[in-house]
């Protein structure tokens, strides 16, 4: 009875469009928004949708060298999904992490498919962490871990405050983030081969590259495959 009363006062809403979900719904999205989860005709490298008849993905720089095996997004970073991520980050809706984790773990089953053996959250700048009260990437990582058993390695930290990446253009982002992330714990000795770095948004990839650079400087990913799990991806 309490659950029914709670649903009446605080009805479950779709994380994306905020439509009220059916009272017996067990998911976190309405049917319409669920249909936008990225699944088909995706680049095997950058995770963006493209015409599979094309010679190569138009979003990928096919000549760029990268240690990233694959980027796995849930949604494109358009206006409605951007608003959902902003609510998650800035309105304290930490329950969203459970919904996104459920899509990664139980819908896409990506942890099992890629045999991911460890999860690394992107760190948040200390000032932003204090102001916000949580790191959404760490929350998401912990929720994925709860559902799959993949261990969390919170081994990265920010060592300097930077301007928000969203306030920078593509060229500025690389400069802005440079030298801001270091390792706080070495994982080179861990007997794991597949690692996923977890974040909320992937646009230019500058933050992820800085994370990988920090791991590389300690030789922590030698012989390991690196994947990226992100809620939204820009095109």
Please indicate, yes or no, whether residues 91 and 16 belong to a single structural domain of this protein.
no
Please indicate, yes or no, whether residues 67 and 178 belong to a single structural domain of this protein.
yes
Please indicate, yes or no, whether residues 151 and 185 belong to a single structural domain of this protein.
yes
Please indicate, yes or no, whether residues 74 and 166 belong to a single structural domain of this protein.
yes
The tally of domains found in the chain comes to: 2
CATH code of residue 189: 3.40.50.2020
Residue 9 has pLDDT above 60, yes or no: no
Please indicate, yes or no, whether residues 6 and 99 belong to a single structural domain of this protein.
no
Domain hosting 7: range is: 1-35
Please indicate, yes or no, whether residues 151 and 167 belong to a single structural domain of this protein.
yes
Query: Could you report the per-residue pLDDT of 150-198, keeping only the tens digit for each?
Result: 999 999 999 877 667 665 666 667 676 788 899 998 888 888 999 999 9
Selected residue with higher pLDDT from 75 and 64:
75
* Whether the predicted model's global pTM rises above the 0.85 cut: yes
Q: How does the average pLDDT of the chain come out, rounded?
A: 87
Please indicate, yes or no, whether residues 93 and 197 belong to a single structural domain of this protein.
yes
Q: Are 235 and 78 in contact (CB under 8 A)?
A: no
């Amino acid at each position: 009875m309490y659950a029914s009363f709670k649903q009446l006062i605080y009805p479950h809403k779709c994380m994306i469009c905020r439509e009220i979900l059916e009272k017996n719904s067990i998911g976190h999205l309405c049917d319409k928004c669920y249909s936008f989860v990225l699944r088909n005709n995706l680049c095997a490298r950058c995770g963006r949708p493209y015409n599979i008849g094309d010679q190569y993905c138009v979003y990928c720089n096919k000549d760029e060298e990268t240690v990233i095996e694959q980027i796995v997004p849930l949604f494109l970073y358009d206006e409605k999904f951007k608003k959902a991520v902003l609510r998650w980050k800035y309105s304290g809706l930490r329950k969203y992490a459970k919904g996104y984790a459920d899509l990664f773990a139980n819908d896409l089953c990506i942890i099992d498919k890629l045999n991911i053996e460890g999860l690394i959250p992107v760190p948040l700048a200390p000032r932003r962490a204090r102001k916000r009260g949580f790191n959404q990437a760490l929350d998401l990582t912990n929720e994925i871990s709860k559902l799959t058993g993949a261990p969390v390695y919170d081994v990265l930290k920010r060592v300097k405050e930077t301007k928000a990446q969203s306030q920078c253009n593509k060229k500025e982002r690389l400069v802005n983030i440079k030298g801001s992330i270091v390792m706080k714990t070495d994982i080179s000795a861990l007997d794991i081969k597949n690692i996923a770095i977890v974040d909320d948004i992937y646009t230019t990839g500058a933050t992820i590259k800085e994370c990988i650079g920090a791991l590389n400087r300690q030789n922590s990913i030698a012989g390991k495959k690196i994947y990226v799990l992100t809620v939204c991806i820009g095109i």
